[in-house]
Chain A
Amino acid sequence: MSRYLTGRIGQAIVVVWAAFTLAFIILYLMPSDPAQIIASGGLQGDAGSEASEQQLDELRAQMGLDQPVVVQYVTRLIDTATGNWGTSYQTGRPVTEMLADNLPPTFAIAVQGLLIAVVVGMLLGFVATYTRFGPLRQLLYSLPSVGASIPTFWSALLLIQVFSFSLRLLPAFGNDGWTSTILPAIALAIPVSAIIAQVFGKSLRTMMAEPFLDTARAKGASRLRAMAVHAARNALLPVLTMVGMLLGALLSGAVVIETVFGRQGFGRMTVEAVNAQDIPVVMGVVVFSAIVFVVATLVVDLLYPLLDPRIRQTLRPPRRLLVKAA
């Protein structure tokens, strides 16, 4: 088990490193001059205060931008590994500090969104498989594909329209209190729950055709009991795999959602950093996202054996790297 864990953590580090390197290459190739950006106080800075070529050179030397690429890469890599993630060109604040400020509000809506998605998605999948009433079954089967294809910004606007403007139940914008997290969380949850409903429903239906379900029915178990006790736990495994990957959907969803709801958070910060070509912040976002992915996949893999005793015996690092996180 500990050997398995060491192997997996080793893989996780490789994935994060690969994400870092890829981001470095792309950002380095970008036709922009960080010194220019800083000197003009970000892109929003007034164009009047043009810095002289000499000032720019000083800035470049100060930031190590005049060094060869390899040296820059190694310096950055070591800095990142040791927790020095640089300072934002825009705000001049350390990137780690900005992350610490912007993560909690995003975390709040992402966790709520995931919870809602898991509960609603599994409920939908279960009822769709359980019901034998044709029209309801058809409706429940088609809901997920509708949910998955609605653009998030549109469902967000719809939610605001109904719950904030018409019913006046919940605030439409901002970061004030827990009530302001409900609508963004629901908007985030819609596509994710749709995917969970599809995967769980499909996997339940597969399980219902397994011979061991017949065994359960032959014991006198009701359809509900057979499904809830025997099929559901087996059908949970693919869902668990999905949840790890769906974190990505939640993070990228946050970008849109936070913009629509005018919330401060990780997504908003990412958008602003990209627009301003704030390279240290963008790098921070990439590396942080990679870490989130890698940790989520690891947690999911460690949960597997708890759900499936067959895996407990054969725990060992998989041969291939998990590329999905990168």
Chain B
Amino acid sequence: MITSSLLSVRDLRISYTSRGVIREAVHGVSFDIAAGEVVAIVGESGSGKTTVAQSLIGMLAHNGAITGGSIEFDGLNVTRFGDRAWRGLRGESIGLVPQDPTVSLNPVMKIGSQVAEPLRIHRNMSKSDAAQEAVRILREAGLSDPEARAEQYPHQLSGGMRQRVLIGMALACTPRLVIADEPTSALDVTVQRHILDHIDELISVHDTAMLLITHDLAVAADRAQRLIVMSRGEIVEEGRADDILSRPGHPYTQKLLAAAPSLSTPSVRRPPVLAEGSSADDRVVRLEHVTKQFALPAGGTLTAVDDVSLDIRRGETLGVVGESGSGKSTLARIVLQLEKQTSGEVFIDGERMSEQGTRGLRALRRRMQVVYQNPYASLDPRYTVSAIIEEPLRAFRVGSRRDQRTRVVELLDRVSLPADTARRRAEELSGGQRQRVAIARALALSPELLVCDEPTSALDVSVQAQVLDLLTELQQDLGVTMLFISHDLAVVRQLSHRVAVMQFGVLRELGEVEQIFSDPTHPYTRELLAAIPGKELVA
């Protein structure tokens, strides 16, 4: 068994030192990867999965060190390898596909030269030979017109194209092992599927083994033969992908599985809409032929939202799905009137927005609140939680100081945070706690409409599940109307009553959630649905 394995990790321990304090991040991890095998390590942030991946290519952060155990690669004990020895393996025998393609290429170097670099380093190829080979690699990586691509710079390529470049680069010297660290989590679902399909194809052609690092159980299960589930620096479960999905043994795996929206059965999270029917009073938001154009720096215009008409009924959740550039966030900003539409009309509670002055808009702001995507960026880290939640109350002079304090405690309770959270600073809170604070702040003025712009995409799945539960509960109790923007169809399905599908600024399809998911009429909706990872596994 051990002799046939390409990579053998035994009781690996890794520690980080910061400010003189040593903290162990990986506590004795053991696993093997056979030649040509695809293995996935799944875990949430802080599980140590990325640390393990970094140690396998000798690229731990400078304050990290292997403090125990061993790593054997292809018969070599690499545990104590120095930088020079590692250099011989990196790019040659072990390739790395990094996480975020938008920042992982040198912005001032031509694509071709970047792809040619490993060949120049390891194969001693001449410049012109390497350049020719780079074009071949780009073609193999699935890029159209590779000769032209080689002469371009990273910013001229889309995220998906850049990830193809990075994959080509990692496989340039046909390594025996590829480590892919969240290779598609920064990409749209449809692109993600094509990219992952392509990696599968390339590594099977060259009989390359792959270690896939991901937070997404569904992606892992789709792609890997074997899963390793990590939590808090330990392996909690390991086994064949379908075994783990059908019979998760460890409670943590069960929790992950239950929280993964695309793997769990479509739920349950929707409360019934309070006001049925479509009389004018019941529509909190009405958009009529709304179009938004932006002037491009290079001249010309970009139509971000193209003739969209829709309405949101009182007490319902309208989910808006689309990939990046679909105009879904612009649409949300127009509803909030943070952005003026170029043409068309927006009605909030029957009031025509184009007729509102600054004062009227300000009064309306009270009735519409927003929860943003990234709770790390949307809260001032140095503010206390109570200052954050009180801010809208003070801005609108609601109640006395004492009333405001009482309200803060009430709201914290509402979002299931202990009352003493009020005195803590935002920087001391975890992502999930921060998002709860952001929701409490949005609720402070008892708004009618809550706009949630990707409220959970920066969070781990188990935390995401809690936040989604909270939002549903709030809607049930308070009857708040929600506009829920997300790129994640599975999340939208759990929460929304109706779903709008956007692409290139155009509203492709709008319908009841079950109709959209069971009987989509637009081809783009069907494509989106097909791209959801893990769906064959539950079907």
Contact = CB atoms under 8 A, between A and B. Distances in A.
Contact of A220 (B100, B103, B118): B118
A230 B109 contact: yes
A219 B100 contact: no
A211 interface: yes
B104 interface: yes
B153 interface: yes
Nearest to A225: B121
Given A219-B121, A221-B117, A313-B298, A234 B107 contact: yes
Nearest to B89: A220
B408 interface: no
Contacts of B298: 313-314
Interface stretch (A147-155, A159-167, A195-203, A302-310): A302-310
Contact of B98 (A215, A229, A307): A215
Contacts of B108: 233-234, 307-310
A210 B154 CA distance: 15
B169 A310 contact: no
A222 interface: yes
A304 to B, nearest CB: 11
Contact of A219 (B83, B99, B103, B118): B118
A164 B404 CA distance: 76
Contacts of B470: none
Contacts of A220: 87-92, 118, 121-122
A210 B103 contact: yes
Contact of B155 (A210, A211, A214, A309): A309
A230 B106 contact: yes
A212 B102 CA distance: 9
Nearest to A220: B91
Interface string A121-155: 00000000000000000000000000000000000
Contact of B90 (A219, A234, A313): A219
A314 B172 CA distance: 33
Nearest to B62: A132
B83 A223 contact: yes
With most chain B CB atoms within 10 A of its CB, the pick from A211, A215, A223, A233 is A215
Contact of A211 (B98, B109, B172): B98
A168 interface: no
B228 to A, nearest CB: 21
With most chain B CB atoms within 10 A of its CB, the pick from A211, A216, A221 is A216
Contacts of A217: 59, 90
B166 interface: yes
Contacts of B99: 211
B98 A218 contact: yes
B297 interface: yes
A217 B118 CA distance: 10
Contacts of B297: 314, 316
B428 to A, nearest CB: 25
Given A220-B122, A230-B109, A215 B59 contact: no
Nearest to B113: A229
Nearest to B115: A219
A39 B153 CA distance: 67
A219 B117 CA distance: 7
B98 A219 contact: no
B105 interface: yes
Contacts of A215: 96, 98, 104-106, 166, 169
A93 to B, nearest CB: 49
Nearest to B88: A220
B57 interface: yes
A218 B103 contact: no
Contacts of B121: 219-221, 225
Contacts of A214: 59, 96, 98, 104
A225 B99 CA distance: 22
Contact of A218 (B59, B105, B122): B59
- Return the 3 tightest CB-CB contacts between A and B, nearest first: A220-B91, A218-B96, A219-B91
18 contacts: A210-B103, A211-B100, A211-B103, A212-B106, A214-B59, A214-B104, A215-B169, A218-B91, A219-B91, A219-B117, A219-B118, A219-B121, A219-B169, A221-B121, A222-B83, A234-B108, A308-B107, A308-B108
Given A218-B98, A219-B90, 15 more contacts: A210-B103, A211-B104, A212-B107, A215-B105, A217-B90, A218-B59, A219-B117, A219-B121, A220-B88, A220-B90, A220-B92, A220-B122, A309-B155, A310-B155, A314-B297
